[in-house]
Amino acid sequence: MRLTDEQIAHFHREGYLFLPELFDAEEVALLRREAEAIYANQRPEVWRERSGAPRTAFAAHLYNDAFAALARHPRMINPIEQVFGEQLYMHQFKVNAKSAFTGDVWQWHQDYGTWARDDGMPEPRAMNIAVFLDEVMHINGPLMLVPRSHTEGTLAAQHDVTTTSYPLWTLDEPTVTRLVERGGIVTPIGKPGGLLMFHGNLVHGSAGNITPFPRKIVYLTLNAVSNYIRTPTRAEYIAHRDFSPIIPADDGALLALARRREAAE
C-alpha cells in the first residue's frame, strides 16, 4: 500500500489523514474479540478507569498473536515509511477502550509533548496510526483533531495527574481556544476497519462516552529508527526500548490468522 501525492499533501497540510474501512470485517472481528479478552485480564499492561472499566491495554503486540500481526502489517508500516523516508520501530502500542457508559475523557494534548518530556524523543518523527475496532460515531467519544495545529511546534503543557487515571501533558484552555479559532475541530468517524494517521504535534482529545456504544481503537506509535528515544522514564511496556526496524509481514497475514481461528472454533 502506498499513499498518493494528494494524500501526502493533505497529511502535511492538515496534520492527519483518514482512510475509511482499510481493514475488512473478518480482520476487525478478530482484533475486537482479542481486545475484549485482553481487557478481562488483570495484568500491569491493562490500565483502568477509576470506575474499574478498561481504559487502555499497552504492548498487546508482545503477548497476543493477532495484535502482533497487526503491528507488522504493511497497511500500517508502508505509509509511514513513505512519509518519513526511513525504517520504523514500535515506540508504543495500545488498545484504547472508551467503554460504553464509562469511557472517560482524554484531555487536549499533543502526543509528541509526552514522547519528548517523558521518553527523550529528539524530534516529532513518530506518528500515531489508529485502527477503529468499533464504529466511531459523533456520539460515542470520537477523537477530536485541531487541523493544522501541528505547525505550531511543541506547545507548553502541564502534567495533569488528577483528571483521569492516566497522567498526561495537557494544554490550557486559552491555547486550545486560539488553535480552534484558526483551524476548527474535525472528528473522523466511520465504520470498523478505518485507519487514521496523525502528526505527533497535532492537538487532539476526546470527550467521555456515555452511550451504550463502545469505541475501541488500536494505536500504533511508529518512530523513525534514527529518532529512537534517549532518556526513557516510563515502563518498557509503555515506551519500548527495542529499536529494531519493523519488517512488514505479508498483507494477508492477519486475514489468514482470522480464518484459522474461525476454522478452529
pLDDT of residue 215: 96
User: In order of start, what are the domains of the chain with their CATH numbers?
Assistant: 5-264 (2.60.120.620)
pLDDT of residue 61: 98
pLDDT of residue 20: 95
Pairwise CA distance, residues 245 & 148, whole Å: 29
**H helices then E strands: how many in the chain?**
7, 12
Collect the ranges in the chain with pLDDT lower than 70: none
pLDDT of residue 255: 93
Q: Read off the pTM.
A: 0.94
Q: List CB contacts of 184: < 8 A, sequence separation 6 or more.
A: 146, 147
pLDDT of residue 264: 81
For 183-188, the CB contacts below 8 A with 24+ separation are: 183/146, 183/147, 183/148, 183/149, 184/146, 184/147, 185/144, 185/145, 185/146, 186/16, 186/144, 186/145, 186/147, 187/138, 187/142, 187/143, 187/144, 187/145, 188/16, 188/18, 188/136, 188/142, 188/143, 188/145
Q: Are 114 and 166 in contact (CB under 8 A)?
A: no
